[in-house]
Amino acid sequence: MMNDTKKKSKKEKISEDGANAVISRLREAEKEIERLRSFEKRSRSVLDALPNSIVIYDTKGKVKHLNPAFTNTFGWTLDELKGKKIDFVPDNCMPETLSAIQQVFHIGQTEFETRRYTKNKKILDMEISCGSYKNDKGDFIGTFVILRDITQKKKNEKKINKLNKKLLKRAKELEALNSNLQEAVDYAMEMGRKAEEASRAKSSFLANMSHEIRTPMNGVIGMTNILLDEHNSPETRDGLETIKRSAETLLTILNDILDFSKIEAGHLDIEAIDFNLRNMVEETLVFLSMRSHEKGIELTYMFDEEVPSLLIGDPTRVRQILMNLVGNAVKFTDKGGDINIRISLVEEKEKQVIISFMIKDTGIGMGKEDTEKLFQSFHQVDASTTRKYGGTGLGLAISKHLCGLMGGDIRVESQAGKGSIFTFTILFEKQKQALEKFKSPPEDLKGKRVLIVDDNKLNLEILEGFLVRWGFFVEATTDSPHAVQMCKLMAKTNLPFDMIITDYQMPAMDGAQLGRIIRANPDTTHIKLIMLTSRGLRGEAKKMKEIGFDGYLSKPIRRSQLFDTIILVFSGGKKENDAPEDIITKYRAKDIRTSQIKILVAEDHPVNQKVIERILERLGFQYHISGDGLKALEELEKNHYDIVLMDVQMPVMDGYECASRIRSEKSKVLNRDIPIIALTAHAMKGDMEKCLDSGMNDYTTKPVNSNTLIRKITGLLKIKEPEKKSIDKDELKAY
């Protein structure tokens, strides 16, 4: 019994231990299941958060899980597909899909690109990564598929490929174009080289033509000027004036053609040198007044006081514009007309100034359609074969270009039959002392009473402005008979006029008649008389002296000449130190005496030699002429000279080489620093630079102008410019 009980207890104990073991294993299994569930839950959370579509299949290829990204991309939900197979492989993509499945079973994973349907049958390009997954024991328990939508990427790739094809096509086209372009460049370079050669040939041709034309023109104009000073016969003078005008016209045409060629070639340069604007304007207008006087045209100018005179710029080019515009005004204005020039200040800065030049005439004018084309090259208002006025049609185009180069512009206002107003502006640099300090009259002359008589109101305004600023008491009238009455009346009031400045040509009573009346009246005979005239006829000053005039000036009146004349007349023709003061006059060239100056002239052309001889003789200089550069060099080695006038184109040795040898350290000349002025018939770009580079000091083109030559000689020698004798009571001659 005992044994049976023991056996029974033992069996019960074994059974209890087995149950505990089973329970323990079950609990461990539950824990493992819970762990796996927890892992699966975490894994699904991770899968659900991923942006790519993910599908997990079981061993039978049925959907076990898919993430929200899959639903968003393909449209199916997990509830719709769980436990099912997905039918979203297009037929044409099935082979590659089956191949991928085989790879998964063989190697465990694969990647490929294919296409898949969405729920609504839309086909998407996909990049697929797939593989198998196993349990801890290594048993195969399913597969996973990761799908990334590359539809847009594929579209972009197609676009890129399309663009690449286009680029490749364009590259081939560009390569062909580059080949053509290189050929074109080579051709252009060849054409450019030929054009440059042609341009050089053209420049050389123009320079040679300039030289060939200017050389005889120098003789024609030079000798004509000399003969004009020596002949009084009206018939002879008329013929000589015709020759001179014709020669000057031809020279103007030549200059226009040369300037236009420079503009076309881009070789027209602007200088920046110190100069006196007022002097330049006055000299230019004095020259132009000769033409206006011949036509009976009144030429006046007003130089506003606030305009600075001492400037930096290109006086030659400014003079050229003035000559062109005022010359046109004279050409297109009929007898009895008026031309007024006004120089005024537009804008002034610390170092710069913009100045306006206005030329107003009462000429034929023009319509709007003509003014719009006026500054075009070769344009002429009247281009018909029967046109009344000559010209090349280049002057205004050149003037406009010059204005642009000098920082300004040019414009015109005109009305047919009423006249024209041309206005141009120039930008100048100012010299350190831009405003010219003008001298004042002696204190004993301030307050002197002066009567101005002129039927031109603008002339009265200009003259009155001068005299008031100089300290005179001024009365003015446009009526000469009234002037006589004023003189008589003021004489009786013990406030007589001290001086009368009168115009010559006036209605009712001219200036000469006025002078006779003043001199015939004992109450007014003391009054000083100065005649102003636009006629400037030779011998007229002598007639005025016989009437009793103390001074005689040709219009346009230069401020300095008017001042000097007034002072001389009041002082009886003497300065304060009783030395005679000379004033430049047109017909007093023979009275110039500068006999201490010795000039060497290097010139081979006989006509030019003769012209320069006559000019220097008239000016009173001592001179010697050498026919070529070598002879000039030998002369300078033997004798002393003050200055050399050097032609640049000569046989044996040209002027450039001669100047270089004079300046050389090995030179045997007595004065290596002697001033040298180039005389050349060349007028092209680089001529001046070539002269200066060879050692010359200055440069002037032929035909030689005596006034220009005097100015350059006296400037280099730093001596007072030779002047022609002044007007005085004892010897009054015409300008």
Among 588, 562, 565, residue whose Cα is nearest residue 282: 562
- The distance from CA 538 to its chain's CA centroid, rounded to whole angstroms, is 44
- What is the reported pLDDT for 410? 93
For the cut 60, the answer to whether the pLDDT of residue 727 exceeds it is no
Q: Where are the alpha helices (DSSP H) in 440-479?
A: 457-469
DSSP 82: B
Residue by residue, DSSP assigns 689-706 as: HHHHHTT-SEEEESSPPH
Which residues in 85-116 are b (16+ Cβ under 10 Å) and which e?
ebebeeeebeeebeebeebbeeeeebeeebbb
Average pLDDT over residues 405-427: 92
CB atoms within 10 A of CB 60: 9
Q: Confirm if 484 and 518 have CB atoms less than 8 A apart.
A: yes
- What is the reported pLDDT for 723? 43
DSSP 91: G
Bond preceding residue 651 cis, omega within 30 of 0: no
For the cut 50, the answer to whether the pLDDT of residue 384 exceeds it is no
- What is the reported pLDDT for 335? 83
* Alpha-carbon gap, residue 390 to 191, rounded angstroms: 37
**C-alpha distances out from residue 252 to 248, 306, 532, 714, Å:** 6, 33, 30, 27
**C-alpha distances out from residue 188 to 176, 183, 184, 195, 203, Å:** 18, 8, 6, 10, 21
**CA torsion, ordered 612, 618, 623, 628, to nearest 10 deg:** 10
Q: Which residue has the higher pLDDT, 588 or 503?
A: 503
DSSP 235: H
CB atoms within 10 A of CB 512: 17
For the cut 50, the answer to whether the pLDDT of residue 244 exceeds it is yes
Would you call 360 helix, strand, or coil by DSSP?
A: strand
* pLDDT band, residue 387 (cuts 50/70/90): very low
Among 234, 92, 81, residue whose Cα is nearest residue 145: 81
Q: Confirm if 530 and 501 have CB atoms less than 8 A apart.
A: yes
- What is the reported pLDDT for 56? 86
* Alpha-carbon gap, residue 609 to 606, rounded angstroms: 5
Query: Distance between the two ends of the chain, CA-based, in angstroms?
Result: 181
For the cut 60, the answer to whether the pLDDT of residue 204 exceeds it is yes
Backbone angles phi, psi at 300, to 5 degrees: -130, 160
What's the token pair of residue 650? Answer: 């000569």
For the cut 50, the answer to whether the pLDDT of residue 575 exceeds it is no
Residue by residue, DSSP assigns 33-67 as: HHHHHHHHHHHHHHHHH-SSEEEEE-TTS-EEEE-
| Ordered structural domains, the chain, with CATH | 20-154 (3.30.450.20), 269-430 (3.30.565.10), 443-583 (3.40.50.2300), 591-717 (3.40.50.2300)
437-444, Cβ contacts within 8 angstroms, sequence gap of 24 or more: 438/559, 438/563, 439/563, 440/470, 440/471, 441/470, 441/471, 441/472, 441/563, 441/566, 441/567, 442/567, 442/576
Q: What confidence tens digit (pLDDT) does each residue in 458-483 have?
A: 889 889 988 998 999 999 999 999 99
For the cut 90, the answer to whether the pLDDT of residue 452 exceeds it is yes
For the cut 60, the answer to whether the pLDDT of residue 20 exceeds it is yes
What's the token pair of residue 630? Answer: 């070598």
Q: Confirm if 486 and 517 have CB atoms less than 8 A apart.
A: no
Residue by residue, DSSP assigns 674-693 as: --EEEEES--STTHHHHHHH
Among the residue ranges 52-56, 201-205, 566-570, the one predicted with the least confidence is 201-205
Mean pLDDT of the chain: 80
The angle formed by the CA atoms of residues 412, 289 and 357, to the nearest 5 degrees, is: 30
Among 47, 51, 81, 49, residue whose Cα is nearest residue 64: 81
- What is the reported pLDDT for 728? 36
For the cut 70, the answer to whether the pLDDT of residue 2 exceeds it is no
* Alpha-carbon gap, residue 652 to 630, rounded angstroms: 7
Among 422, 424, 425, 426, residue whose Cα is nearest residue 412: 422
Q: Which residue has the higher pLDDT, 169 or 584?
A: 169
* Alpha-carbon gap, residue 687 to 696, rounded angstroms: 12
Bond preceding residue 556 cis, omega within 30 of 0: yes
For the cut 60, the answer to whether the pLDDT of residue 392 exceeds it is no
Residue appearing with tokens 């047109």:
586
DSSP 116: E
* Alpha-carbon gap, residue 677 to 612, rounded angstroms: 13
Residue appearing with tokens 């005025």:
544
CB atoms within 10 A of CB 27: 10
